[in-house]
């Protein structure tokens, strides 16, 4: 595992406010893990007691609804942090984080993070801004579900998947969500999601290769999703 001062997470997240000495201290207390695809980093109800830095890979943050469906709230990519809200509020995790592909993560204990809060105002301010950003994202997701049609939400999600995570060499989306996961993300039944994907395929917006999705007309998907 590389040095904290050269890490992608430091470039993107609130850790960019830390100086070299603080980063060296961080490197001494962190624990690095490899999380295999499909395995949890933590589960709903767990006490996180620190933050996770995602150095490679991506995961889904999801909540199990009373009827047993997995509602995806957010996708997290390399360079982001996990667990900061529950660590600061001293509450168990309200979401589960599960790897969508093999991941490398580093865990920094709460005691270390809080000690940096006390010494580095910019670091604590950056982390508060990140949490505020997460809250804004969550409220925008709720507004989207209540105001947009399922078709618009599917188009929006497909655009997001390509623009955020990119494509594989064969042109398919790099992050392949199952039909159930896609349905959970847009807040509809799996059957409706499958039917809409089939419609998008027939009209040339996307191509389907088995379970893989290839986006063929990004501009038109953006128009459907009402993304300027």
Q: For residues 31 and 68, what is the distance between their CA atoms, to the nearest angstrom? A: 33
Mean pLDDT of the chain: 89
Is the pLDDT score of 10 beyond 80?
Answer: no
> Model confidence at 146, in pLDDT bands (50, 70, 90)?
confident
Residues with Cβ within 8 Å of residue 192, at least 6 apart in sequence: 150, 183
pLDDT tens readout for residues 24-66? 888 888 999 999 999 999 999 999 999 999 999 999 999 887 8
Share of the chain above pLDDT 90, in %: 54
CA atoms within 13 A on the CB side of 223: 5
Q: Which of 38, 54, 128, 115 is nearest to 85 (CA)?
A: 128
> Model confidence at 1, in pLDDT bands (50, 70, 90)?
very low
The dotted CATH code for 149-225 is 1.10.10.10
CATH 2.60.120.10 assigned to domain 4-145? The reply is yes
- The residues that bridge with 215 in the sheet, in sequence order, are 206
- Domain 4-145 matches domain 149-225 at the CATH topology level: no
- Domain coordinates in residue numbering, the chain: 4-145, 149-225
**pTM recorded for the entire structure:** 0.84
What is the per-residue DSSP string for 129-194? HHHHHHHHHHHHHHHHHHHS-HHHHHHHHHHHHHHHH-B-TTSBBSS---HHHHHHHHTS-HHHHH
Q: For residues 116 and 80, what is the distance between their CA atoms, to the nearest angstrom? A: 18
């Amino acid at each position: 595992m590389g040095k904290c001062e050269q890490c992608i997470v430091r470039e993107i997240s609130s850790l960019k406010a830390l100086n070299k000495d603080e980063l060296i201290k961080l490197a001494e207390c962190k624990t690095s893990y490899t999380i295999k695809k499909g395995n949890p980093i933590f589960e709903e109800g767990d006490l996180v007691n620190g933050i996770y830095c995602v150095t490679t890979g991506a995961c889904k943050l999801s909540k199990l609804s009373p009827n047993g469906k997995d509602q995806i709230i957010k996708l997290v990519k390399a360079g982001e942090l996990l667990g900061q809200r529950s660590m600061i509020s001293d509450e168990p995790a309200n979401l589960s984080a599960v790897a969508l592909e093999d991941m490398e993560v580093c865990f920094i204990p709460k005691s270390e993070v809080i000690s940096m809060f006390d010494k580095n105002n910019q670091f604590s301010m950056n982390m508060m801004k990140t949490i505020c950003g997460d809250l804004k994202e969550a409220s925008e997701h709720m507004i989207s579900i209540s105001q947009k049609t399922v078709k618009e939400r599917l188009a929006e999600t497909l655009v997001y998947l390509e623009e955020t995570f990119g494509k594989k060499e064969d042109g398919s989306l790099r992050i392949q969500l199952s039909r159930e996961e896609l349905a959970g993300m847009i807040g509809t039944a799996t059957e409706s999601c499958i039917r809409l994907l089939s419609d998008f395929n027939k009209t040339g917006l996307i191509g389907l290769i088995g379970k893989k999705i290839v986006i063929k007309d990004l501009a038109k998907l953006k128009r459907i999703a009402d993304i300027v």
